[in-house]
Amino acid sequence: MIAVRYRLGIDFGTSNTVAVIHEGDGRTRPVLFDGFPLLPSCVCASTGKLLVGREAMHAARVRPELFEPHPKRRIDDGTVLLGAAEVPVSGLIAAVLTQVRAETVRTMGGDPETVVLTYPAAWGPRRRAVLLDAARLAGLGTPQLVPEPVAAAAFFVAATGAAVPVGSRVVVYDFGAGTFDASVVTRTASGWEVIASEGLDDAGGLDVDTAIVEHLGTVHAATHPQEMQRLVQPQTVADRRANRNLWEDVRTAKEILSRSAATYIHVPLIEQDAPLGREQLERLARPVVDRTVALTRTVLTSAEPTRPLAGLFLVGGSSRMPLVATLLHRATGVAPTVLEQPELVVAEGSARPLATTQVAPTCTRGWCCGWRTCSPRRPARPSPAPSPGAWCSSPR
């Protein structure tokens, strides 16, 4: 392996993987995949090998049963069944990282000297081990792991020149495809420290897409019950293909509505174009967005609230929805900072040399043992309350 003097930062996301190169002169540039900075994180086990990204999406049109659209969402599953084959989740992630490595080496003429891989701040050692295993399988050695909100905060400061004095804190609102995370990161003398990170596994762009699909199901169920049943719960290859096309169209329409007032969604099988307007979308997205805003307010007011707040930074493609900044501003009284390409922020930040103290976030609810993440993904306060350390004995 020839190592060339550059750093590579990789943000492995639920929908998209982004990689950024940092060269010795301080310049950064995203790795391009078919000309785009976003590599879809999907995998298709077609013709005996694992295809990735747009190639996988294309193959999935013919063999949808061999397709895994979101390997990151399967992080706890161990293996995934693709057709008749059981594929380890680490192998799926490795396929994506292998593609990243191949494109990077093609561009730079050799492997990076340093690789940095980001992870959601709430991930425990078990999930991080799957990520490291995948990196090793992809020939990336043992990358440095950096929490996503730390990378995001560092990049915001570099890109906007925001003043974040030592001792102050910033809130990173990360609304991606699969999950939502609200983190509080403080500036320390040596770098950054995550002091709280709360997440929702069921609040991402995909959940907004689900709300739209359910809406279409309700609208058309009365007139086309059989077709809608086939679309929503596909049993045959043809129906699965129609289902994939519908989800693709729904996602595209949702993204268009961040900049346009109205668009159409083509509903396969019944072959109709359903109109969708921005207001309608916002009504459908509102329950998901409301939960992200409420959680942000909670971390903002409960994680060391006496520290000065230096910024509320928006990260992730779903934060492009105009509704997000409006509701956040209204609920917190803080004007959020948004960058032009919120999907690139985490990878951009991770590619830069970063002094960081990677401290696991502490519980912001006041009833956990307090030595590692206490996540709202846990359903309710246990009774009796756990003794210190006990609750966290099987971290994620």
Ligand X SMILES: Nc1ncnc2c1ncn2[C@@H]1O[C@H](COP(=O)(O)OP(=O)(O)OP(=O)(O)O)[C@@H](O)[C@H]1O
Tokens found for residue 390: 């006990």
Q: Least distance from C-beta 255 to ligand X, angstroms?
A: 4
Tokens found for residue 63: 């063999």
CA nearest neighbour of 192 among 13, 65, 361, 14:
361
Q: Which is nearer to ligand X, 75 or 105 (CB)?
A: 75
Interatomic CA distance for residues 324 and 315, integer angstroms? 11
The correct pick among 205, 268, 336, 349 for binding ligand X (CB under 6 A) is 205
The correct pick among 6, 7, 14, 231 for binding ligand X (CB under 6 A) is 14
Sequence-ordered strand ranges (E) for the chain: 3-12, 16-23, 28-30, 39-40, 43-46, 49-52, 67-68, 79-82, 85-88, 111-119, 144-147, 169-175, 180-187, 192-200, 262-267, 272-277, 309-315, 337-338
Number of CB atoms found within 10 A of residue 50's CB: 20
Which DSSP category does 204 fall into? S
CA nearest neighbour of 306 among 192, 188, 167, 172:
167
Q: Least distance from C-beta 170 to Mg ion, angstroms?
A: 17
Q: Least distance from C-beta 120 to ligand X, angstroms?
A: 7
What mask of x and - would describe binding to ligand X in positions 249 to 278, judged by CB under 6 A? --x--xx--x--------------------
Identify which range of 53-61, 102-110, 267-275, 318-326 contacts ligand X by CB under 6 A: 318-326
Q: Least distance from C-beta 197 to ligand X, angstroms?
A: 13
* Number of residue whose CB is nearest ligand X: 205
Q: Least distance from C-beta 147 to ligand X, angstroms?
A: 12
Q: Which is nearer to Mg ion, 100 or 363 (CB)?
A: 100
Q: Which is nearer to Mg ion, 143 or 176 (CB)?
A: 176
318 scored as a contact of ligand X (CB under 6 A): yes
Q: Least distance from C-beta 71 to ligand X, angstroms?
A: 10
28 scored as a contact of ligand X (CB under 6 A): no
Site residues (vs Mg ion, CB under 5 A): 13, 176
321 scored as a contact of ligand X (CB under 6 A): yes
Q: Which is nearer to ligand X, 215 or 254 (CB)?
A: 254
Q: Least distance from C-beta 196 to ligand X, angstroms?
A: 18
**Residue pair 194/183 in contact by the 8 Å Cβ criterion:** yes
Q: How many CA atoms lie within 13 A of 78 on its CB side?
A: 1
Q: Which does 72 bind (CB under 5 to 8 A by kind): ligand X, Mg ion, none?
A: ligand X
The correct pick among 21, 39, 130, 177 for binding ligand X (CB under 6 A) is 177
Identify which range of 153-161, 171-179, 222-230, 377-385 contacts ligand X by CB under 6 A: 171-179
396 scored as a contact of ligand X (CB under 6 A): no
Q: Which is nearer to Mg ion, 38 or 312 (CB)?
A: 38
**297-323 as b/e: b if 16+ CB within 10 A:** bbbbeebeeeeeebbbbbbbbbbbbeb
Tokens found for residue 93: 């992630």
Q: Which does 392 bind (CB under 5 to 8 A by kind): Mg ion, ligand X, none?
A: none
Q: Which residues touch 259 (CB under 8 Å, ≥6 apart)?
A: none
What mask of x and - would describe binding to ligand X in positions 334 to 373, judged by CB under 6 A? ---------x------------------------------
Identify which range of 97-105, 132-140, 248-256, 298-306 contacts ligand X by CB under 6 A: 248-256
Q: How many CA atoms lie within 13 A of 160 on its CB side?
A: 20
Which DSSP category does 390 fall into? T
69 scored as a contact of ligand X (CB under 6 A): no
Q: For residues 71-100, which are near ligand X according to CB under 6 A?
A: 72
CA geometry: angle at 80 spanning 74 and 81, to 5°? 145
Q: Which residues touch 243 (CB under 8 Å, ≥6 apart)?
A: 64, 231, 232, 234
Binding stretches for ligand X (CB under 6 A): 13-16, 72, 176-179, 204-206, 251, 254-255, 258, 316-318, 320-321, 343
